[in-house]
Amino acid sequence: MREAHPIERVVGMSYYVSDADGVGGHLRASPEDFRVTELESFDTAPVDADTGGYPHLVFRAQLHNWDTNDFASALSDKLGISRERVSWAGTKDKRAVTRQLFSVKGIDPDDLPELDGAAVDVVGRAGRPILFGDLAGNAFEIAVRDCEAPENAASVLSDLRDFAGEEVGAGPSLPDEPVTAAVPNYFGQQRFGSRRPVTHEVGLAIVREDWKEAVLAYVGNPHEREPEATQTARAYVDETEDWQGALERLPRALGYERSMCHTLVENGADSAEDFREAVETLPSNLQTLFVNAAQSYVFNQILSERLSRGLPFERPVEGDVVCFKDNEAPADLPLPDTDRIQRVSGKRLRTVERHCERGRAFVTAPLVGTETELADGEPGEIERAVLDDVGLEPGDFALPGEFDSSGTRRAVQVRTELAVERDGDDLTFDFALPKGSYATVLLREFRKNDPAA
């Protein structure tokens, strides 16, 4: 178990599970090198269905170099409607080629505008918007270019097969067929901001109801990876808390930050309520993302501590909480049903181990919220220690509006059938992951370098 890159440790990913040296290389050398296709489970009515009963137009978009949020904003602007009427199942990164479903309330197919880098196919109509739960998973085809040591891929893959419980020795070359591999089910770097990982800091401040600190964490708080002008503007915010001066300095591209500053200038920035209102100027999904990022950070810390203590991930120990398999999930993409959980007692341990071995159950850790009941035994000790370290408890997530969260649980390990091909110094990875799991978390084990490289 190796220590992770410093910027990964900032967001709670403290270790790699593979001890083998990495391959290095560059991710997203071009958008075509990172292809994502959603695996959906969403039924639609015909496109000519009655708009009274089916007001949401559903379409599949192939997006080239589009961030999902930016596409939704551009689409709503072109349509002249509120962005809140645009919905989707999963947020994708910008530098990629993605195929994903969207729904828009109250429009006709002929209303859909043309946008550069977007090819749209109308699927049908629906009685409700597409939601996160409608995504089963994603299929990936990803190229890592110009690897410094592509020959190390075989050893890394062997380690990941071991982590999956396959118990195989290191081979001299990559397998010809896909094999079962596993990694800790960390939340990836992009959950927290790929260039500037701060969304969890904003979220932690919100959960503590320190609204001013939340604004400063988002508008101020410069990061060395940002352009110099942006760093200077953010530093000015931290030093002066001069919101009008910030507006004069913040680049136009930082629209969300500028919106928050506008609100503070208008309201006077004299009370906690003024700072809360500034945060609430942001889109509702971004408000929710902040709290989700705080939960994700805590979850990552719990997984890192589990690794540090040498507890297994593919099977439970006494005190763990497991989720059983979702019987409605695709057969080749098993998903946990977080409504079907069981605490693992010593008496039931072997029985639950067998369920996990057969893919019928998954060891979990909490995404902490108001309804979270922590585990028992050593897993519970880990959960409580991490929460103590960040100064939170489940009841703190009883928050206003979009910030409230009851919490849930999430599998601690993610498995996949992985094919890896080498072409000179380039490597190509083909695999599928369940919703909420990150391709970059798998690839980081192979690359072991700066995630921005």
Q: What share of the chain is helix, strand, coil (3-state, %, to 5)?
A: 35, 25, 40
**pLDDT at residue 222 in the model:** 95
Q: Stretch 71-88: mean pLDDT, rounded? A: 94
Same domain, 334 and 377: yes
CA 374 from centre of chain: 22
Residue whose pair of structure tokens reads 């380690």 in the numeric block: 159
Average pLDDT across the chain, whole number: 94
11 pLDDT more than 90? yes
**Lowest-pLDDT range of 77-86, 326-335, 342-351, 412-421:** 326-335
Instruction: Determine contact, residues 289/346, Cβ cutoff 8 Å.
Output: no
Which CATH number fits the domain that encloses residue 215? 1.10.1510.30
Residue environment code for 77-95, b if the CB has 16+ CB neighbours within 10 A, otherwise e: eebebebebbbbbbbbbbb
> Looking at the structure, do residues 296 and 376 belong to the same domain, yes or no?
yes
Count CA atoms closer than 13 A to 229's CA, side-chain side: 7
Residue 104 structure tokens: 């828009």
- 17 and 153 share a domain? yes
Residue 447, pLDDT score: 98
Q: Residue 77 sits in which domain range?
A: 33-136
* pLDDT bucket at 24, cuts 50 / 70 / 90: very high
Domain final residue pick, 262, 282, 302: 282
Determine, yes or no, domain membership for 452: no
- Whether residue 142 lies inside any domain: the answer is no
Q: What is the pLDDT of residues 408-431, one digit of tens each?
A: 999 999 999 999 999 999 999 999
pTM: 0.91
- Total domains, the chain: 4
User: Do both 405 and 425 map to the same domain?
Assistant: no
Q: In the structure, what pLDDT confidence band is assigned to residue 285 with cuts at 50, 70 and 90?
A: confident
List, by residue number, the catalytic residues. 93
> Quick one: which of 239, 375, 195, 389 has its CA closest to 301?
389
- The CATH number of whichever domain residue 320 belongs to comes to 3.30.2350.20
268 and 399 in a single domain? The answer is no
Reported confidence tier of residue 402, pLDDT bands at 50, 70, 90: confident
pLDDT for 184 beyond 80: yes
Is the CB of residue 397 less than 8 Å from the CB of residue 291? yes
Give residue 171's pLDDT band: very low, low, confident or very high (50, 70, 90).
low
Q: 197's torsion region: left (phi>0), alpha (psi -120 to 50) or beta?
A: beta
Note the pLDDT tens digit of each residue in 191-223: 998 889 999 999 999 999 999 999 999 999 999
